Amino acid sequence: MINVGIIGFGVVGSGTAKILLENADILRERVGFEIALRKIADLDIERDRGIRIPDGVLTRDVNEVLENPDIHVVVELIGGVRPAKDFILRAIRNGKHVVTANKALLATEGTDIFAAAREAGVEVGFEASVAGAIPIIKVMKESLVANRIRAIYGIINGTSNFILTKMTDHGVEFADALREAQSLGYAEADPTLDIEGIDTAHKLTILSTLAYGIPLSFGNIHIEGISGVATQDIAFAAELGYKVKLLAIAKEANGAIELRVHPTMIPREYLIAKVDGPFNAIYVDGDAAGSTMYYGRGAGSVPTGSAVVSDIADIARNIRRGAIGRVPTVPVTTRRLTIKKIDDVISRYYFRFSALDRPGVLSKISGILGARDISIASVIQKGRRAGEAVPLVVLTHEARERDVRRAIEEIDALPVVMDRTVFLRVEGREEST
């Protein structure tokens, strides 16, 4: 029998407890022995979570988990960096294996945790830290082990995807869609993490370490969220055949890795463009496997609990077989890899200029773009309002970000340009001229 202690009886903690208790029979059948939930520590043990917890399991004292000689696996589900990190390090020092869903902690302080675990000879499972129920960690560590990963495109924040879907399908305002996402329990305690792309970047940090064996590189990710996305750009994108999604992007070519999170236009017929509402999906392009995609619920109590329990089961099996460390926590590359600065990224772009509708304006703008080697693929101009700004929408061929930023600065300084230019990066099929 393998004994488990949970710290944190919130959304994911209660989902995990429910699965361990209600699916104990199926788990026993599959792993061949019992996985027993011994303790759940939380400051609030009174609130009804709708699960019948056996007597003696609930405690307000975290030491009953961390210092309990009977507990083999400690499950950290309180979130946030402190005190979660201290609890995990204490558990590791006490020789306990750890399972966590804490992407913010792993992305920013994971190096210390992985080093401590290596030293103590214990495992750290983190399947639930990226994309909830989707088994993407196992895919990256085990299923695609034979592949050089050419690219990853992820929709890995349900809150942002829910908001963008509402804005796209129902023309709902950003703030109303955010409120709805919060009431449905998708958002982090601090929703800034969701809407400003930080939660997505935490998860991309973890995925890129697994894909490329690089150190956890949260600080090197270019991050833009969705709070500045306007409904009219979503509508123009639709007119051009695209959807706007908050994507986590990792790509490797010739030893240089791109790591970026930003709202992105993708062709609407792409499978990943059809991932709507709170759902998550990760598209992985491996040199051997080719394209694969993983889809499912990226948040929520029982879906995320399913990933937590899968880690517990893996560790329990490894303990039984004396196979601790069979799959390393993270790979470590021996190749020389650099992370590209956003200025060096090459992409296609969507621009929305707010320009006066006058003869010669388009040629001025296209002249500035041309001088920076930015080639126009298509143009839309809607409406005529003498003396007023109208949206002038331009799609480009591939261009370098540094050139794009400089061109926009120049364009925004033109007297015929009335407002700051909006730009979005475009991935996927090339437009024909």
Tokens of 231: 């409904």
| Rounded distance between C-alpha atoms, residue 376 and residue 367, angstroms | 10
User: For the chain, how far is it from start to end, CA to CA, in angstroms?
Assistant: 66
* Shortest Cβ 71–ligand HSE spacing (Å): 26
Q: Which CB, 5 or 191, lies closer to ligand HSE?
A: 191
Whether 85 is catalytic is no
* CA–CA distance, 134 with 207 (Å, rounded to integer): 13
Q: In the bound complex, what is the minimum distance in angstroms from residue 328's beta carbon to ligand HSE? A: 24
At closest approach, how far in Å is the CB of 181 from ligand HSE? 7
Q: Who's near 325: CB < 8 A, 6+ residues apart?
A: 121, 123, 318
Return the ∠ at Cα 165 (arms to 162 and 171), rounded to 5°. Answer: 120
- Specify the residue, 240 or 299, whose C-beta has the smaller distance to ligand HSE: 299
* Closest approach of ligand HSE to the CB of residue 213, in Å: 24
DSSP bridge partners of 99: 75, 125
Strands (E), 94-213: 97-100, 124-125, 149-155
Secondary structure class of 298 (helix, strand, coil): coil
Nearer to ligand HSE, 296 or 298 (CB): 298
- Asked if 246 and 161 count as a contact pair (C-beta separation under 8 A), the reply is yes
CB of 275 to ligand HSE, least distance (A): 12
- Spatial separation of the C-alpha atoms in residues 91 and 74, rounded to whole Å: 7
- Closer of 154 and 391 to ligand HSE (Cβ): 154
Nearer to ligand HSE, 188 or 196 (CB): 188
Cis peptide before 83 (omega within 30 of 0): yes
SS3 state at 222: strand
Tokens of 267: 């062709």
Helix (H) or strand (E) segment spanning residue 115: helix 103-120
Q: How far is the CB of 299 from ligand HSE (least distance, A)?
A: 4
| Greatest CA separation for the chain | 80
In the bound state with ligand HSE, the residue whose beta carbon lies nearer, of 279 and 349, is: 279
Which listed residue (103, 203, 243, 245) is catalytic? 203
Binding site for ligand HSE (CB under 6 A): 132, 157-159, 186-188, 194, 199, 298-299
| Structural tokens at position 332 | 């470590």
Which is closer to ligand HSE, CB of 185 or CB of 228?
185
- β-bridge mates for residue 256, sequence order: 253, 338
30 burial via Cβ count (<10 Å: 0-12, 13-18, 19+): exposed
Tell me the closest approach of the beta carbon of residue 186 to ligand HSE, in angstroms.
4
Return the active site residues.
203
